Amino acid sequence: MRVTVTGAGIIGLTSAYRLAEAGHDVTVVAAASPMESTSAVAGGVVYPPIRVPDERIVRWTAASLAVFRTQDAPGVRLRRGRVLGDPDPWWLPAVDDPVRVGDGVGFTTAVVDPPVYLEWLLARVGELGVRVAYRSVTSLRGLDADVVVNAAGLGAGALADDPAMVPVGGQVVHVTDPGLPEFVVDARGPGVTYVIPHGGHVVCGGTEEPGRADTDPNPAVTADILRRCRELEPRLAGAEVLRSLVGLRPFRRAVRLERVGDVVHCYGHGGAGITLAWGSAADVAGLLTAG
């Protein structure tokens, strides 16, 4: 089948990968390169910071983790880390070796350095014969394909005329990595503070700003993130600040993954797109097989 995938973030590229692997003739059409997507800004921990229990989320997280565990891709490490807060998160069965430690849970999962991984993934889909064209799409109709996969992140909402999509801004600060062995997420509120080491740098965060439209880092927010992260992880005291970044999470109260005629919608992954990517891509491919 000839398939056009709109979007070259983590969701579009993993969907394209699975579809090409299943023998489809795949073209990705994206407004901009993967390096300019929200996916490139993500912290990269494979766990779903989602409050409402959803059976699909556990399944997709476990499926993605299984892929990251065996893929041997650059920018992916299996690490232990902690999420602070009570009670134990409902999604805990999806990750490896969970144990309650004091005021949080420790577990092992994949930690993905998004720009490194996206570059690798883009090359892999190319090897599978996927064509990638950079242009903006204004309608899902009229694309030269048997089936269209709508995986355009925030843009997918506009293409599907879906008012349930909301941008949730997130600012992060990258600092040099003093050799931290574990990630830590403090979800006890208010807000969320996280420290995610990638070897060369650490992603410090964060913010959750519903309705945010711009991606210009705010210097006062950078200072606040650094203060919170150094409190959470004192070994960051001397770390050098490298850059501040802002991404707009494609938030929806529940991920939309369904087939409507010749369109498969796959969007609304909010703050968990890296986590859910391979699991949802498998379901996208399944929907094409099911006809």
Ligand X SMILES: Cc1cc2nc3c(=O)[nH]c(=O)nc-3n(C[C@H](O)[C@H](O)[C@H](O)COP(=O)(O)OP(=O)(O)OC[C@H]3O[C@@H](n4cnc5c(N)ncnc54)[C@H](O)[C@@H]3O)c2cc1C
Binding site for ligand X (CB under 6 A): 6-12, 29-32, 37-39, 41-45, 136-137, 151-155, 159, 170, 172, 205-206, 247, 249-250, 267, 269-275
- Given the DSSP bridges, would you call strands 166-176 and 241-260 parallel, antiparallel or unpaired? antiparallel
Of 23 and 260, the one with the shorter C-beta distance to ligand X is 260
Kindly tell me which of 154 and 229 has the beta carbon lying closer to ligand X.
154
Alpha carbons 278 and 14: distance in angstroms, whole number: 6
Smallest distance, Å, CB 40 to ligand X? 7
Supply the minimum distance, in Å, between the C-beta of residue 285 and ligand X.
16
- Please, what is the minimum distance in Å from the beta carbon of residue 152 to ligand X? 4
Closer to ligand X by Cβ: residue 45 or 221: 45
Sorted by sequence, the CB contacts under 8 Å of residue 173 that are 6+ apart come out as: 203, 204, 205, 222, 225, 226, 229, 241, 243, 244, 245
State the Cα–Cα distance between residues 282 and 65, nearest whole angstrom.
13
DSSP codes of every residue in 145-157: SSEEEE--THHHH
Tell me which amino acid residue 109 is. Answer: T
Minimal distance, residue 287 CB to ligand X, in Å: 17
Of 37 and 259, nearer to ligand X (C-beta) is: 37
Between strands 183-186 and 76-84, the pairing is parallel
A 10 A CB-CB count for 91 gives 20
Contact of 201 with 165, CB cutoff 8 Å = no
Return the number of the residue (195 or 288) whose C-beta is nearest ligand X.
195
Contact call for residues 105 and 98 (beta carbons, < 8 A): yes
What SS3 state is found at 64? helix
Q: Which residue is nearest to ligand X (CB)?
A: 155
> Could you tell me which residues are beta bridge partners of residue 33?
none
The residue (of 152 and 236) whose beta carbon lies closer to ligand X is: 152
* Min separation Cβ 113 and ligand X, Å: 11
To ligand X, the closest distance from the beta carbon of 101 in angstroms equals: 20
